[in-house]
Chains A and B, each alone.
Chain A
Amino acid sequence: MKVIVDQNKCVASGQCVLSAPEVFDQREEDGIVVLRAENPPEGLADDVRQAVILCPAQAIWLEEQEGEQ
């Protein structure tokens, strides 16, 4: 899966970091999302999907490849 974030929509809630700390982080100065892993391993897929659902700003998208759930 490929993860896409929109820093302009992000509201710095950090819910994505709580869900998947290996994939997301927050900028030191303002808490806006930064991607640590653009193509996270399949083992983190559920955590990343949780981050997508919980993001209060709808600032995270996934592009899932064929064959994935």
Chain B
Amino acid sequence: MNRIVVVGASAAGLTTAETLRRRGWDGTLTLIGEESRPPYDRPPLSKQILTGAWEPERATLRSRQDLARLEADLRLGQYVAALDVPGHRVRLAGGENIGFDALVIATGVAPRRLPDSDLAAVHVLRTLDDAIALRAALRSGPRVVVVGAGFLGTEVAAAARTMGLEVTMVEPEPVPVRRPFGDRIGALVAELHRSHGTRLRCGVPVRRLRGAGGRVTGVDLGDGTTLPADVVVLALGAAPATGWLEGSGLPLGDGVECDAYCRAAPGIYAAGDVASWPNAHFGTRMRLEHKMNAVGQAMAAAGNLLGDATPFAPVPYFWTDQYDTRIQAYGIFPPDAEMRILYGDPSNGPFAAAYGHHGRVVGVLGWNAPRQVRTLRRLVVDRTSWAAFAATPALSPATVN
């Protein structure tokens, strides 16, 4: 195996390249990234970069010297247009073909938009350039409407509110972060935002963006009301960036559908936000849009590409920072899981909770409880029997949703 091509140069792509080199593979390595910036870290974009606590350069992941040490053909600002599976080559947008013996797909996701998203002052947040543009827009003191109250939407709303802006968050679900965490935690996150003066409009869909003279002026809601806005941030989730793979013959469903070894086809692997795979620890197929998974999956894909034959079966870790609150989670949080409080009191300060599903602990969550949740992670790793927690206090009702 002499030539490996990695498409995508963010956390997963960079980690793939670094893992290959760290493990002593010394063939020809090509790392192709759409953005012209060197690889940078995404979690700070909706936090420190937006509030201005960090200058944009601080999100840079590696120094020039570190990148040079990879001895890779680093092609930044280049689009891959297509994959030729039988020919074992990718075609760049400019027409150049690059052959490979093995390929790692790490193209991530692209933000969803609404019709009329091209109105001025409508923002999405995926790239560092997006964050810089949104930061500039927020500095003029606008009324902000955030559409979507998942992790990204709630973090953007918190950052904008921390800057002293008038912020309204709109979400069709009854509470924020319901899909990852369910109704109980969602209600606490709603209260967190309200207590900081962020307005919430939950349980109502967005009908359309309203504009005048090419610039957004408000957001029309499904209940007939209009929220006036100077800046609108669309945080509607993201779709796997697989457009360039259509017609390639690779299995595409919710992202690139891999096997337990992060493999999509012989010699072709995928890692990070773009990849779905069956996680044997939980017995379910998943696709995760979290930094830690991008790193862990890239290490696994690179290792399997080099012959490890190790299934990727991690306990996922992810976190969100909003105002002065840090929520950290290990595992999965199915809508019909049960939740019990193992530490603290959700009505008053820090707490940690465990989640049971089909008789086992499948997740633990900490609310301003970093040490506790790190210790409780062991329950998920060990698939601890849920029966052991029958007498533990619960929120009422005890189910997640």
A binding-site residues for B, Cβ under 8 Å = 11-15, 17-18, 26, 28, 30-31, 53-54, 56-58
Contacts and interface: CB of A to CB of B under 8 A. Distances in A.
Contact of B374 (A26, A28, A53, A54): A26
A58 B39 CA distance: 13
A54 B292 CA distance: 7
B160 to A, nearest CB: 20
The 8 closest A-B pairs by CB, nearest first: A31-B370, A14-B374, A12-B370, A26-B371, A56-B291, A56-B292, A31-B371, A14-B370
Interface of B: 15, 41, 43, 61, 291-292, 295-296, 299, 317, 319, 321, 326, 328, 368-371, 373-374, 377
Contacts of A57: 41, 43
Nearest to B296: A54
Q: Which secondary structure characterizes the binding site on chain A? A: loop
A18 B319 CA distance: 16
A58 B61 contact: yes
Given A13-B317, A56-B43, A26 B370 contact: yes
Contacts of A12: 326, 328, 370
A56 B321 CA distance: 13
A28 to B, nearest CB: 7
Contacts of B328: 12-13
Given A13-B317, A14-B370, A26-B370, A58 B295 contact: no
Given A14-B371, A26-B370, A31-B370, 7 more contacts: A11-B321, A13-B328, A13-B370, A26-B371, A31-B369, A53-B15, A56-B291
B129 to A, nearest CB: 20
Contacts of B369: 31
Contacts of A14: 370-371, 373-374
Nearest to A12: B370
A54 B295 CA distance: 7
A54 B317 CA distance: 11
A57 B58 CA distance: 11
A13 to B, nearest CB: 6
27 contacts: A11-B319, A12-B326, A12-B328, A12-B370, A13-B317, A13-B328, A14-B370, A14-B371, A14-B374, A15-B292, A15-B317, A26-B370, A26-B371, A26-B374, A30-B370, A31-B326, A53-B299, A54-B292, A54-B295, A54-B296, A56-B43, A56-B291, A56-B295, A56-B319, A57-B41, A57-B43, A58-B61
Contacts of B373: 14
A56 B117 CA distance: 32
